[in-house]
Amino acid sequence: MNYVDDISVTLRRILSVLPVLTPEERERVAAHIRQADPSYDSVVTAFTAK
């Protein structure tokens, strides 16, 4: 569960700085998150797969 908490803290930190990022920085961060492998969504999908 500590790993999940770490992920949540990281996502909260990203959200907290989001308002001060320039549009270019926002796009760079968004692109990096989209390209991350494994993604948060893929891990959740793996948990719910039968």
pLDDT of res. 50: 75
Range of the domain at 42: 2-48
DSSP string, 1-50: -HHHHHHHHHHHHHHHHGGGS-HHHHHHHHHHHHH-SS-HHHHHHHHH--
Contact 29, 21 (CB under 8 A): yes
Q: What is the pLDDT along the chain (50 residues), one digit of tens a residue?
A: 899 999 999 999 999 999 999 999 999 999 999 999 999 999 999 999 97
> Based on the structure, what is the number of domains in the chain?
1
Task: Give me the pLDDT at residue 19, please.
Answer: 97
Amino acid at 2: N
Q: Which pairs with CB-CB distance under 8 Å and at least 24 residues apart come from 37-41?
A: 40/7
Global pTM reads 0.75
